Amino acid sequence: MNNLLSQIDDSISAKKSLENFKNEIQKSINLISKSISKKGKIMLCGNGGSAADAQHLAAEFLVRLRPNVNRKPISALSLATDISTITACGNDYSYDEIFVRPLKALGDKKDILIVISTSGNSKNILNVLKVAKNLKIKSIGFLGNNGGKAKNLCDIPIVVKSDITARIQEAHIFLGHHIFEKVEDKLI
């Protein structure tokens, strides 16, 4: 039981670290809302559990976050869900390019890229952030630990202060839900 209580405390602490990023969170809400109002898309990506989180959060935009809020669907997609594209790109180019190819094909300067990374150091995340800058696509980073190299490549980095992957991922989902709820509030 002590281990359970310790993990609950760690989870709360990771989420509380987001208090240090109130301004960045508000900027993210405003940036996403502005993009949606201009018919932009929200594109998300991550690796492993963060890929699942990207898919989860894209679904919240496409369908809805809250059952009592009926709104128009919001254009959102995870760049980590098309296994045929991922494996073709990994085979023909490099795994480091799996998010770059779809971003180049589908991205527009009125879109927003949200990268989700517990380390902030994955090469495919760093590469997609560099390409987003070149394409003038604004980026938001849901990062962990100290933010890694991605911290300096994101337009808006939000770093969960924890070095425990599970706690970072829990905080990322909380962060995504909070931001998307506030975006929904602006849209209805």
User: Residue 141 sits in a domain of what CATH number?
Assistant: 3.40.50.10490
pLDDT on residue 67? 87
Nearest CA to 42 out of 24, 26, 60, 22 is that of 60
**Euclidean distance between CA atoms 188 and 33, whole angstroms:** 11
pLDDT digits (tens, 9 = 90+) for 57-73: 999 999 988 888 888 99
| Tally of domains within the chain | 1
For residue 187, name the pLDDT band (cuts at 50, 70, 90).
Answer: confident
For residue 123, name the pLDDT band (cuts at 50, 70, 90).
Answer: very high
Query: Domain span at residue 137?
Result: 2-187
**Euclidean distance between CA atoms 144 and 135, whole angstroms:** 25
